Structure 1
Amino acid sequence: MDAKYKSLKEDFVSNLSGGSVWEMNLVTLVAPASVLLWSVLQSRKRAFTPYTIEACLTDCLLNCGAILFVTTIYSGYPAALNAFLLLPALVTYFSSPVKSEAGKPRPTPIRTGDGNAEKDETGIEKAPEQLPMKPFLTAYRGSMLVVTAVGILAVDFKVFPRRFAKVENWGTSLMDMGVGSFVFSGGLVSARSILREQLSGRKSSLLQRLRASLWHSLPLLVLGAIRLFSVKGLDYAEHVSEYGVHWNFFFTLGLLPPFMALFQSMFDILPSYSVLAILVACVYQSALDSTELTAFILTAPRTDLFSQNREGIFSFAGYLAIFLAGLGTGMYVLPRRAPPVPPWLRWLFPFDSVFGRLATWSIFWTILFSASTSYDLGGLEVSRRLANLPYVLWVSAFNTAQLTLFCGIEGSCFRDLHNSKIKDAALERKKAKEATSRVLYAFNRNGLALFLLANLLTGLVNMTLPTLHMGNLQAMGVLVAYMGVMSAVALALDAWNISVKI
């Protein structure tokens, strides 16, 4: 890569203050608005059953195109794009009745290929799972992965506003939220293994948990090493203040599961993983405030391996807190019904439903974030580079609020999805898939593999095209083609029933 162009790109991708939180709320509201319109069309019109070519294109336009547009050509008018999505959704919702095929449980269970109901190994018809597929979780994770895929490449074009790019030291931006949300959603999904262990009645030892987590982390660490050597070998433009000279996001992701396995033992002492997340974040923030750690991370010379990678090493504490917050959320979101609240916490969490619990936690995280950044109380600034306490609280508040919106959309459009009268697991899974965008399901199914593909395609585009010198029309052409390839690969893997485990 030309040295002058490389330097220009490093300066270009660096941002100083980011955008306002309220503007990002409008931008990120596009994902729930798109899912709402999709859900209304499906529940009222059965627009995506059967899944024809026209339905597929509409699905891609709603759940990928809208996110691409709001972060590029509509970045200055997020309210207008939200209105374009919400108005037809609301008109259709209130003017059209629910289709009986989508809204009512069918009396006959779904049959397997030989015409028999799905049965377990004992010959008994399978009951609905205790950890069922929930469309609103798929929509949340799928949308987050689409935003991530868009941002990875779009940031290299001028059509992508600088206020959305990662900040240098202090401030908030769309991509800073994307990084934290990726970690939060990873923690949410990791709760499944803990819940399965609890349901089985077996408790694995610390050694067994560490062995399993290290095996799960190995591919991510290998990917981190591959990225490190490829970036250095190809002289690819990078911003070392993001994670350090050698550290990258794959290393952070790869080290989270082993630390989670260690903290799992503390769950017997503390009431929830969310409380543990707050404790970890507060201890880390105390270290930042009471020592020279903040100055070391931000200004120290890079004289050895440790100081060269200080951002990645110390910010790991903040990302671990975010991961634990996601894990705590998954403990009450993933089960069929949220576990009951202990009597001594009933005053704080009066609702047992998943929606009520999510809404309460989103308010709780928001209050903590507001207190930490208030001039009269905490007076702290958000820093993704440090992954400090306000950053942890900001990410947790945003993601629980997003989950609340997606959960509310599912409950409004598909009210009988987990109806107690449904006794067949296959029937329930079929109903859940009918209530889920095929595109978002495909992105969620192979999330890490598609994240890797997005990084590879981004590198290819940047090595072959002068992205900084391309006009808006050319940039949009490249980005639309890129998202078309990403969507096609995701849908193809899903159609061929391939799950790439990384």
Structure 2
Amino acid sequence: MVVAANGYKAQKEAFVSNLTGGSVWEINTVTLVAPTAVLLWSVLQSRQRFFIPYTPAACLTDFLLNCAAILFATTLYSSFPVALNLLLLAPATLAYFTPAAAPRHARVKVAGAPKGQQTSPAGLSDPFPIKPFVTAYRGTMMVVTCVAILAVDFKVFPRRFGKVENWGTSLMDLGVGSFVFSAGLVAARSALTGRTGKMPSLNKRLVTAARHSLPLLILGFVRLYSVKELDYAEHVTEYGVHWNFFFTLGLLPPFVALFQSLFSIIPSYAALALLLGVIYEAILDFTDLKAFILTAPRTDLLSKNREGVFSFFGYLAIFLAGQATGMYVLPREQTPPTDAAFSAQLRKSVLGKLALWSVVWTLLFAFSTSYYGLVLSVSRRLANLPYFLWVAAFNCGQLALFCAIERLCFPSLRGAPDDETERQRCREATSRVLHAFNRNGLAIFLLANLLTGLVNLSLPTLNMGHLQAMAVLLAYVSVLAGVALILDSRSISIKL
């Protein structure tokens, strides 16, 4: 029995490590399913008010669009993502041009505003209103992450989507970085709040950061202990012998607190992120650090965990890039002057800024990897400069897509006369499933890790056919969605 178990463990480790990665184009096409599904949801809601009231049929449709579609995109439709996108886009297009079931909210004009000046409704007091497109972005990112961490153990999930060994791009490599970028995005709220007064001292910032870090570090040690005690299959070159993703997340807050001291010198989180990424890449290329991370024997604590220790600096750059994005995404968007040119209005809007930064990060990524640029290769194991730029470009692009969908389907969302009306409109413009995943994201991620371990210890995942695998994965995603919806329905927010 022990020999069989050890043989299966070795087989799984070999299965997970045999990775070649996929093309950026293929990954983008697969991940496009999430925005396309949100588009269909938004059209059904805005034109037909399909999800009001939220009946069992509406809940099932919500789950199928925003969870099952992502699962199918990464498994059975992994070789045909364009077909799946068209299957979602066709009914969305048809529904959009059908007569609306109920009139949309009319825009509210604020009287007394001088012509050509920016206006903000007098009844709106929240400087950081709920942004449905941000909820959709974070919710779908969490769904993709939860799906992938279990699906990777089944043969129905393509090997090219799993984490690559050293060089290349894959869906799961992108997911890890996107998780960090998303955390940085919401962390910008505290930085924006601090701008209204005097910045707290470094000691106070470190104490606050420690309170956020401690639960994550505890989870990291719990995961380390459980993996070692259960002899669970793991790939050492992912983070190292003892390091895991929770340690990376847990160490981000104190380092970000230190970087806030540099903000008075370089008043741009994007510039700080790029500076850190360039310095880290220079150290990799002009010292022996790259060779140490990739080839050194594991003889002491540092060498055993070198991937997690040094890739942390790349993830810190990604976090700062996410924070830079949050600085213009989270605050209330002011109404542009009515007599301003369209190009000026677009440039000052959140959508315009997201599109602009998507282009900037993409061009920098192309320069870092092209023959006429730095000729570097993406490495999630190193979290090097091309990896950081790739993650930043992808996530800004995703946010821009979700923002565009919101503007298309809910154009009067920000025309509310008061806070309560605005919150009501935002609730109606947000998928309840995605809102639930976003509300308790880290807790759901922890539950997904526990269920993944339970499934792997209970079932021979590598020997299961596609039909069996899909049954298990659908049940797994249903449990996660069910728990998230129950917590949300009871207004429970678990803060870790």
| Residue 322 (structure 1) aligns with | 318
Instruction: Verify the 8 A CA contact 1:373 1:379 in the aligned structure 2.
Output: yes
- Find the partner of 2:271 among 272, 275, 279: 275
Cα distance in 2 for partners of 1:379, 1:348 equals 36
**Does residue 446 of structure 2 align to residue 443 of structure 1?**
no
Paired residue type of 2:33 = V
**Does residue 44 of structure 2 align to residue 36 of structure 1?**
no
- Find the partner of 1:136 among 129, 133, 136: 133
| Residue 112 (structure 2) aligns with | none
Cα distance in 1 for partners of 2:52, 2:492 equals 22
Cα distance in 1 for partners of 2:55, 2:125 equals 29
| Residue 74 (structure 1) aligns with | 77
CA RMSD of superposed structures (Å): 1.8
| Residue 103 (structure 1) aligns with | 105
Tell me: CA distance 1:212–1:338, structure 2 relative to 1, closer, same or farther (3 Å).
farther
Tell me: CA distance 1:244–1:348, structure 2 relative to 1, closer, same or farther (3 Å).
farther
Task: State how many pairs are aligned.
Answer: 475
Instruction: Verify the 8 A CA contact 2:19 2:162 in the aligned structure 1.
Output: no
**Does residue 449 of structure 2 align to residue 452 of structure 1?**
no
Instruction: Verify the 8 A CA contact 1:332 1:339 in the aligned structure 2.
Output: no
| Residue 461 (structure 1) aligns with | 455
**Does residue 424 of structure 2 align to residue 433 of structure 1?**
no
> Deviations along 1:227-251, whole A, 9 cap, x unmatched?
0000000000000100000000000
Cα distance in 2 for partners of 1:424, 1:459 equals 47
Cα distance in 1 for partners of 2:344, 2:321 equals 18
**Does residue 24 of structure 2 align to residue 25 of structure 1?**
no
Q: What residue ranges of structure 2 are gaps of 5+ in the alignment?
A: 110-121, 337-342
| Residue 244 (structure 2) aligns with | 248
| Residue 171 (structure 2) aligns with | 174
- Find the partner of 2:261 among 255, 260, 265: 265
**Does residue 224 of structure 2 align to residue 228 of structure 1?**
yes
CA shift for structure 1 position 98: 7.2
Tell me: CA distance 1:105–1:438, structure 2 relative to 1, closer, same or farther (3 Å).
farther
> Deviations along 1:156-183, whole A, 9 cap, x unmatched?
0000000000000000000000000000
CA shift for structure 1 position 127: 3.3
Paired residue type of 2:163 = K
Paired residue type of 1:423 = P
| Residue 482 (structure 2) aligns with | 488
Paired residue type of 2:86 = A
Paired residue type of 1:159 = V
| Residue 299 (structure 1) aligns with | 295
Cα distance in 1 for partners of 2:102, 2:266 equals 46
| Residue 381 (structure 1) aligns with | 377
CA shift for structure 1 position 81: 0.3
> Deviations along 1:290-310, whole A, 9 cap, x unmatched?
011111000000000010000
CA shift for structure 1 position 99: 3.0
Moved more, 347-356 or 480-489: 347-356
Cα distance in 2 for partners of 1:409, 1:127 equals 23
> Deviations along 1:396-448, whole A, 9 cap, x unmatched?
000000000000000010011111xx332122111101100000000000000
Cα distance in 2 for partners of 1:331, 1:203 equals 16
CA shift for structure 1 position 349: 11
Paired residue type of 2:151 = A
Paired residue type of 2:105 = G
Paired residue type of 2:378 = V
| Residue 127 (structure 1) aligns with | 124
**Does residue 107 of structure 2 align to residue 87 of structure 1?**
no
Secondary structure (helix, strand or coil) at the match of 1:275 reads helix
Cα distance in 2 for partners of 1:271, 1:94 equals 46
> Deviations along 1:330-363, whole A, 9 cap, x unmatched?
00000012799xxxxxx99981100000000000
CA shift for structure 1 position 270: 1.2
Secondary structure (helix, strand or coil) at the match of 1:95 reads coil
Cα distance in 1 for partners of 2:79, 2:349 equals 37
CA shift for structure 1 position 36: 0.3
Tell me: CA distance 1:348–1:14, structure 2 relative to 1, closer, same or farther (3 Å).
farther
CA shift for structure 1 position 17: 2.4
Tell me: CA distance 1:129–1:85, structure 2 relative to 1, closer, same or farther (3 Å).
same
Cα distance in 2 for partners of 1:304, 1:386 equals 19
Tell me: CA distance 1:26–1:382, structure 2 relative to 1, closer, same or farther (3 Å).
same
> Deviations along 1:266-298, whole A, 9 cap, x unmatched?
111113101110000000000000011111000
Cα distance in 2 for partners of 1:338, 1:260 equals 28
CA shift for structure 1 position 86: 0.6
Paired residue type of 1:424 = D
**Does residue 8 of structure 2 align to residue 5 of structure 1?**
yes
- Find the partner of 1:58 among 52, 58, 61: 61
Instruction: Verify the 8 A CA contact 2:138 2:182 in the aligned structure 1.
Output: yes
Instruction: Verify the 8 A CA contact 1:63 1:439 in the aligned structure 2.
Output: yes
Cα distance in 1 for partners of 2:296, 2:102 equals 63
> Deviations along 1:353-387, whole A, 9 cap, x unmatched?
00000000000000000000001211000000000
Cα distance in 2 for partners of 1:367, 1:438 equals 36
Paired residue type of 1:221 = L
Cα distance in 2 for partners of 1:326, 1:98 equals 38
**Does residue 133 of structure 2 align to residue 163 of structure 1?**
no
**Does residue 474 of structure 2 align to residue 477 of structure 1?**
no
Paired residue type of 1:490 = A
| Residue 209 (structure 2) aligns with | 213
CA shift for structure 1 position 105: 6.1
Compute the TM-score of the two structures, normalised by the length of structure 1.
0.92
Paired residue type of 2:445 = F
Instruction: Verify the 8 A CA contact 1:493 1:499 in the aligned structure 2.
Output: yes
Cα distance in 2 for partners of 1:96, 1:266 equals 54
Secondary structure (helix, strand or coil) at the match of 1:376 reads coil
| Residue 191 (structure 2) aligns with | 194
Cα distance in 1 for partners of 2:367, 2:37 equals 32
> Deviations along 1:45-100, whole A, 9 cap, x unmatched?
00001101000000000000000001011111100000000111112112334732
Matched-pair identity in %: 65
Paired residue type of 1:43 = S
Cα distance in 2 for partners of 1:415, 1:41 equals 15
Cα distance in 2 for partners of 1:397, 1:146 equals 20
| Residue 150 (structure 1) aligns with | 147
Tell me: CA distance 1:329–1:288, structure 2 relative to 1, closer, same or farther (3 Å).
same
| Residue 493 (structure 2) aligns with | 499
Q: What residue ranges of structure 1 are gaps of 5+ in the alignment?
A: 108-124, 341-346
Compute the TM-score of the two structures, normalised by the length of structure 2.
0.93
